Structure 1
Amino acid sequence: MVTYVIILLIAAGVMSRFERIDVPIAVLTQILALAVIGRWLFVAIPNVQPSTALLMLTALYFGFTSAAMLALFVPILSGLLLGIGPFVLFQFLGWLFVVAVVTVLKPLLSRSRWFLAAVGLGAGYLFGWTANLSFAEVIGVDFFKLLVLSLPFDTAHGIGNVVFLVLLHDLFVRIFVREDG
């Protein structure tokens, strides 16, 4: 229970920073819609969906706060389609960690697509391991057993991230990133 309160406080902190960003809300809502619909379209392939790649690209080009807001709303809104449970807040936390890593590594990621792909692969594991915390807390399953059992799913997520990052990067930049001058 304490974990949920902490996650909700983190979410409140993210939301309090949102009104200070200069990214047009229309751009973020379009990316949010793509991430939610992407999760729904790929639901038949376990753990493979474009949401993580879209959040990574948002963090890379629009910053931490914009991507963190999407990290909060993607699991909530996609949960309305796919089902909401105690894991939704942990999905937010997992994507928030991914967004934080991308933000910290931004200077390196903007120079190397290979490094971006490698971070995308790692993001599958980071997200999966964080989401596993919800099952460990709610069901009481041993966390280390969950890590081992989730390896194939986290690997699929990571490989999916690499594929989506390669496929979506240039399109994302062309559609959403406006460079002046």
Structure 2
Amino acid sequence: MGRSRKYLLIVSVILLALLVISIVFFHYKAYLLLSMIVIAAIMIPFFARFEWRDVGGREVVLLAMMAAIAAVGRVPFAGLPSIQPTSFIIIMAGLVFGAESGFIVGAVAAIVSNFFLGQGPWTPWQMYGWGMMGMTAGLLRNTSWMKTLWGKCTFGFIWGYIFGWIMNMWVIVGNIEALTWSYVVGIFVSSVYFDLAHAISNVFFIVVFSASWMKILRRIQGKYGLLQEQPG
């Protein structure tokens, strides 16, 4: 992992730590607003990193198309909570095009899809969750584990739960005044079904479609020389 990517991870961890510290020790009252500001601040380095890269117009169009496909993929499945191909597409983007591209596709897909499904205080958390999903897929794409189907399925299954836990946090932060251990446990227990549905749908899409998607995306990448990995 390059220095710049390590820097981005460190920044994310520090900012999340600041969010926790501000809630626990400084007793802010505008918890939800504060969390949205911090989540937005976390994403700035990733967008900045992408902006600093020498990205051509065709590469931007390709990522925009990937994000649009991921966003539109949520709409037909709106009646089936947590079951959609969005996460699968974001993971494919990270695996083929790298960490920054995966983050951009994930973050943009969240905000674009919510133009159809509704924007709200959950949007920055979705942007962060899906962005980190794409980024970690990109960071791990050259490991032997992620080059196997079982590795990809395990990654998708785990992230089905991680994404759900991230989304649970915005609910908890938004109702911080009523915070108790039983309340927190209740939130996470009530999300188990939805997290499991998300995890299983990720595995399904990876098993059925990952080979063909990666073949097509790599062919486009190689043919047109788009989004080639750059040294960190």
**TM-score, normalised on structure 2?**
0.72
Match of 2:41 in 1: 9
What are the ranges of 5 or more consecutive residues in structure 2 without an aligned counterpart?
1-32, 224-232
Is the alpha carbon distance of 1:110 and 1:43 closer, same or farther for their aligned partners in structure 2, counting shifts above 3 Å? same
| 2:147 partner letter | R
Quote how far apart the aligned CAs of 1:100 are. Answer: 3.7
Number of matched residues? 181
Counterpart mapping for 1:93-104 below 5 A: 93-104=128-139
CA distance in 2, matches of 1:73, 1:171: 24
Match of 2:166 in 1: 130
Match of 2:50 in 1: 18
Match of 1:119 in 2: 155
Percent sequence identity over aligned pairs? 28
CA distance in 2, matches of 1:65, 1:173: 17
CA distance in 1, matches of 2:168, 2:194: 11
| 2:217 partner letter | F
Quote how far apart the aligned CAs of 1:177 are. Answer: 1.6
What are the ranges of 5 or more consecutive residues in structure 1 without an aligned counterpart?
none
CA distance in 2, matches of 1:8, 1:91: 11
Counterpart mapping for 1:1-181 below 5 A: 1-19=33-51, 20=53, 22=55, 24-106=59-141, 107-140=143-176, 142-178=183-219, 179=222
**TM-score, normalised on structure 1?**
0.91
- Whether contact under 8 Å (2:73, 2:85) holds in the other structure is yes
| 1:58 partner letter | A
- Whether contact under 8 Å (1:97, 1:127) holds in the other structure is no
Quote how far apart the aligned CAs of 1:109 are. Answer: 4.2
Quote how far apart the aligned CAs of 1:36 are. Answer: 0.9
CA distance in 2, matches of 1:100, 1:26: 19
CA distance in 1, matches of 2:139, 2:109: 22
